[in-house]
Amino acid sequence: MTYRIERDSMGEIRVEADKFWGAQTQRSLENFRIGTEKMPPEVIRAFAGLKKAAALTNLELGNLEQQIASAIVQACDEILQGRWDDQFPLAVWQTGSGTQTNMNVNEVIANRANQILEENAGQIVKDNTDQIFTGSGNHLVVDGTDHSPAKKRVHPNDHVNMGQSSNDTFPTAMHMAAVLETEQRLFPAIEKLSSTFRRLSNEYEDVIKVGRTHLQDAVPISFGQEISGWLSMLTHAEQMIRANLEHLRELAIGGTAVGTGLNTHLQFGEKVAERISEFTGSRFVTAQNKFHALTSLDGMVAFHGALKALAADLFKIANDVRWLASGPRSGIGEIKIPENEPGSSIMPGKVNPTQCEALTMVCCQVMANDTAVGIAASQGNFQLNVFLPVTVYNVLQSIRLLSDGMVSFNDNCAAGIRPNRDKIKQNLERSLMLVTALSPRIGYDNAAAVAKKAYEEGITLKEAAVRLGLLTESEFDQLVDPAIMV
């Protein structure tokens, strides 16, 4: 293994020569060997967009020279394209401000920018494996020999992090990642499932079935009406998510260390937010109060609460589907769902509602994540919250799981839902709650007596009403029409 020597304020440290990261990333990598959870790539991409906007803003403000700014922008674009994904190895479980991830991004951008400048100048240093080595440190050691390239022009702190602090960049990247993932993944997934429910609701509006409350028979409902309830859940959940997403459009950038904006231009935050909006096609603004933006995660809490509301609705929908599809002979069995795979290693022919099970497990995880986000948000001490990485990890996981879960459920289950018309008709005809239609004519107590007699004697409601002398058969038929009851 070939290494180079990197230096930071704490001294020297060895870094594998083919890595773009520097000393601070290496220290974090060695000091936080905790778990398998890595900083989400969505955060890294958000950081790259932020650093690109910062470089162009500093260029505009006259603080950064053209060549350095251009090299930084090119390095950021390459990260946004996924070219250097393997250069961001840090664990979620690190410093609570996310400083080490900010520096990981700064170091990778700086070292790649230096390489770009060297490439442009024709000054590339290679070893006998034809790998290119660069660094913000002073030494490149190959087989014990110093092969140090020319002095680096781009510094991770002085240039890439110019006018910034981890304390305002990490909250900014968090908000960017959450907004962009929601718009690009979650909303399309909601619309896909909504479209299916819209189609099914219209297609089966004439299928009259038993309604159920308290897991007991209730008055009739059309299958289309039942599905319209599922559709409305998704519509309302999306509205709540959109409303709370507005809080995440406010960016902390420009606040630097404690919210005062020390060491940055007064217009820096506003200009960076404008450029981020331009790059992403999504609206972002600078937070009016940077002290709030650095220390509070209330926007994340409210936003994730809306995600939890969506999870609660999806849990209910998936449960409805598996109840209605239960059986096929000993359950409700009123709908048929796609049979995707064998359901048992011992019972031949068994098929289970696996998509419902997967989606409800997703919902459990999202609800658990909400607890973590809420607790983390309560830990804002003085000028900074120090539970940022765990917060963004859980928020992004919830967005990802809900998006993927809805698409999987839609494609492999919901789109193939079909009513079992024979079973629906059978259950409807046997329902005692059709007696509700008699109450306006014979009164609540008499209607209850009809239902009780029919149940105890195992006869139909019509037979019970006639035997009790409350109605004739023709009168019963006129009053009890399920199609009119819905």
Instruction: Give the residue numbers annotated as catalytic, written as ranges.
Output: 214, 344
Q: Which amino acid is located at 356 in the chain? A: C
Which of 311, 306, 307 is CA-nearest to residue 359?
Answer: 311
**Gap between the Cα atoms of 184 and 191, Å rounded:** 12
- Taking the CB of residue 476, how many other CB atoms lie within 10 A of it? 22
Distance CA 230, CA 67 (A): 55
Rounded CA-CA distance 471/287 in Å is 71
Tokens of 278: 């331009």
Phi, psi dihedrals of residue 33, rounded to the nearest 5°:
-90, 70
Q: How far apart are CA 22 and CA 17, in angstroms?
A: 10
DSSP 8-state assignment for residue 297: -
Round to whole Å and give the CA distance between 266 and 270. 8
User: What backbone torsions phi and psi does residue 299 show, to the nearest 5 degrees?
Assistant: -65, -40
The type of residue at 55 is A
Helix (H) and strand (E) counts in the chain: 18, 12
Q: What share of the chain is helix, strand, coil (3-state, %, to 5)?
A: 60, 10, 30
20/107 Cα distance (integer angstroms): 7
335: nearest Cα among 218, 414, 410, 434: 414
Burial of 210-243, coded b for 16+ CB within 10 Å and e otherwise, reads: bbbeeeebebbbbbbbbbbebbebbeebbebbee
| CB of 53 closer than 8 Å to CB of 119 | no
